[in-house]
């Protein structure tokens, strides 16, 4: 299994607009072969001092894929290219961590 944490920081005030495009793209991603989990998350309220918040312009995409080949196919999917084209100018930065379970 492959885990992905994609940390997306929007340009100021653009997070919700990006998330709108993201949510519209989710059904196509969920239909991809090998997709186990794919969804956005934002800072939880009320976590207190244990939390290191990402802030109001950032969201994290939490993904799980059956294999690296499935993840690579996801990255090459036409709907992902269309999503990128719609959101590219709204994104300040993107950091992607591709992980495998530590056995």
Q: Provide mean pLDDT across the span 4-28.
A: 98
Residue 4 has φ and ψ, to the nearest 5°, of -130, 135
In the chain, pLDDT over 90 holds for what percent of residues?
Answer: 99
Across the chain, mean pLDDT equals: 97
Q: Structural domain tally of the chain? A: 1
State the angle between helix axes of 78-87 and 68-76 in degrees (0 to 180), rounded to the nearest 10: 60
Domain that holds residue 20: 2-99
Q: Provide mean pLDDT across the span 55-62.
A: 98
Q: Report the 10 Å Cβ neighbour count for 7.
A: 14
- How far CA 85 is from CA of 46, 65, 68, 76, in Å, comes to 35, 23, 24, 13
Alpha helices, DSSP H only, in 1-103? 15-30, 68-76, 78-87
Q: What is the pLDDT of residue 103?
A: 86
* pLDDT confidence bin for 101, thresholds 50/70/90: very high
For the domain that residue 80 is a member of, what is the CATH number?
3.30.70.100
């Amino acid at each position: 299994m492959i885990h992905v944490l994609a940390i997306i920081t929007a340009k100021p005030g653009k997070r919700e607009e990006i998330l709108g495009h993201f949510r519209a793209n989710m059904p196509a991603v969920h239909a991809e072969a090998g997709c186990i989990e794919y969804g956005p998350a934002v800072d939880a309220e009320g976590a207190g001092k244990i939390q290191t918040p990402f802030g109001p312009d950032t969201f994290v995409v939490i993904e799980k894929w059956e294999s690296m080949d499935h993840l690579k196919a996801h990255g090459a999917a036409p709907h992902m290219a269309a999503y990128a084209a719609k959101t590219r100018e709204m994104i300040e930065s993107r950091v992607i961590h591709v992980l495998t379970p530590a056995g």
